[in-house]
Amino acid sequence: MNKFEISVDFFETKLTDAKVHFERALDCKHTEFDDLYPYMIEHPQFFWYKRYVAWSELLTVVKLCEELNFGWREQFTERQAEYISNRVMSSRVLDEWYETNDSKEHVG
């Protein structure tokens, strides 16, 4: 029987990856999603769907962290953690994810 050890480092990495993926989608930058569905770029709903997929991934990783009692809030601002806790990606989340565009550097 295989025994799996659940690693905090593993989930911290997955959380960071999910955050970067969402922020890249938010900033309309290239993500894995573009590689999976290159034809979608031609459709206006693409960017909304791409953001939704990244948001869903982020919420899934956060849910797993919560179920395993791993901290996740440290990687986010207080406002971002509140958005995640509310679980609804609204226009407010999209518009205000970065506290201000001047004080937060967007993902590269």
Query: Helix axis angle, 8-26 relative to 46-67, nearest 10°?
Result: 160
Burial code of 26-57, b = ≥16 C-beta within 10 A, e = fewer? beeeebebeeeeeeeeeeeebeeebbebbbeb
* Rounded Cα distance, 69 and 30, in Å: 32
Residue 52's pLDDT is what? 93
Residue 48's pLDDT is what? 85
pTM for the whole structure = 0.82
pLDDT at 49 over 90: no
